[in-house]
Amino acid sequence: MFPYIGGKSHHVRWIDSILPNGFTRYVEVFGGAGWMMLKSKRVASSQQRVYNDFNPLLANFYQCAVQDARRLLRLLEATPGSDTDRFRQYQRELFTDQPVFRAPDFDLALKYIYLQTQVFAGTPLSARCVPYFVDVNTRGRYPSKYDTIIKKLRDPKVIDRLSNITEVTQQDCIDVIDRWDSEDTLFYVDPPYHDKEFYYSQAFPKHKHEQLADRLRDIRGRFALSYYDFDDLHQFYHKDRFHWHQREVYRAAATRTSHRDNYRERSRAVEILITNYGGRPWQESRPARDSRHITRNITPEVRSGGPVR
């Protein structure tokens, strides 16, 4: 829905081609920017859709967008973007003061998305990050990301997708899997990438990757798991038991300090999708561009300085 580290905006079509048929419940364990929830055709056919993210600011934003997208839109429209003073004010309120809040908090959702859409791609929000106004820095060649999210919230198709999210939660990944596991559930799992912890406000250490793998090995439902490759991944998910799919991609965030002569080399990566069900493997040769149960619930009191994803 908006630029976010590890976002799957450009990968939805590929992932969709590997998702199974026949699941009635879809759960995003690490919801992030929610691109699969908003763009996947397979997900749109599920009866129950659960968005989860351990970051309380992200979960609160989605709680507000799901509960009353038009109210959130009015707040954004009334708040001009590309304002350094406003950026610094919101930054202090969210990352220095760290307010305790009760979701859904629409004012906090406005402040969070104001900051999230006005930093350079891949920059983690913190008390020290600096603003990057795309429209100003590119002299109008590219639109403001803040204006883009306003445009999305004006789109009836986006509003419809948001209204069909049946639950928003802010839980640990293992707790979410334990809660929703069933034979009819598909989990899409996109954890913080290994050895990329500096992109996040709190590390997702090796033992947590291993704990996640141990839990996924024993679920009753199905899962599709996104990663970039690292040595232990092959021990966590043996290829003789799980299906591995991969494609070459460009990662915009990986190049933010790159020089022109090594831009493509530094940005090149292989996106891996691991599943516990059969599917059609797809190896792309060219890099890609970077009855309904309605219960809306979120942990009511959270502290905004919590971990990302």
pLDDT reading at 287 higher than 50: no
126 confidence band (pLDDT: 50, 70, 90)? confident
CA–CA gap between residue 161 and residue 43 (Å, rounded): 10
CA–CA gap between residue 222 and residue 281 (Å, rounded): 16
- Give the least confident one: 61-65, 149-153, 170-174, 297-301: 297-301
pLDDT reading at 180 higher than 90: yes
Burial class (CB in 10 A: 0-12, 13-18, 19+), 244: middle
- Write down the pLDDT at residue 190: 93
The mean pLDDT of the chain is 82
In this predicted model, what pLDDT tens digit does every residue of 244-283 receive, in sequence order? 999 887 655 544 444 455 555 666 778 899 999 985 544 3
Residue pointed to by tokens 């530094």: 266
Mean pLDDT of 288-306: 38
297 touches 190 (CB < 8 A) = no
66 touches 162 (CB < 8 A) = yes
The structure tokens listed for 200 are: 């996040």
- Write down the pLDDT at residue 292: 31
In this predicted model, what pLDDT tens digit does every residue of 1-19 receive, in sequence order? 776 765 676 789 999 999 9
46 touches 186 (CB < 8 A) = yes
In this predicted model, what pLDDT tens digit does every residue of 61-104 receive, in sequence order? 999 999 999 999 999 999 999 999 999 999 999 998 777 888 89
Highest mean pLDDT among 9-18, 128-137, 259-268, 285-294 belongs to: 9-18
pLDDT reading at 209 higher than 70: yes
Would you give the end-to-end CA distance of the chain in angstroms? 15
Beta strand segments in 125-238, E: 167-169, 185-189, 222-228
CA–CA gap between residue 44 and residue 209 (Å, rounded): 29
The structure tokens listed for 54 are: 């351990």
Q: What are phi and psi of 245, to 5 degrees?
A: -125, 145
- Write down the pLDDT at residue 293: 34
Cα dihedral across residues 245, 250, 252, 254: positive or negative: positive
CA–CA gap between residue 287 and residue 64 (Å, rounded): 35
C-alpha to C-alpha distances, 85 to 89, 109, 146, 155, nearest whole angstrom: 6, 18, 16, 29
Q: Number of helices (H) and strands (E), helices first, in the chain?
A: 13, 9
C-alpha to C-alpha distances, 90 to 83, 113, 123, 131, 143, nearest whole angstrom: 11, 10, 16, 11, 22
Residue pointed to by tokens 């919101």: 90
The H-assigned helical ranges of the chain are 12-16, 35-39, 41-44, 56-77, 84-95, 106-116, 134-137, 145-153, 156-163, 173-180, 206-216, 233-236, 263-267
Q: What are the structural domains, with CATH classification, of the chain?
A: 12-303 (3.40.50.150)
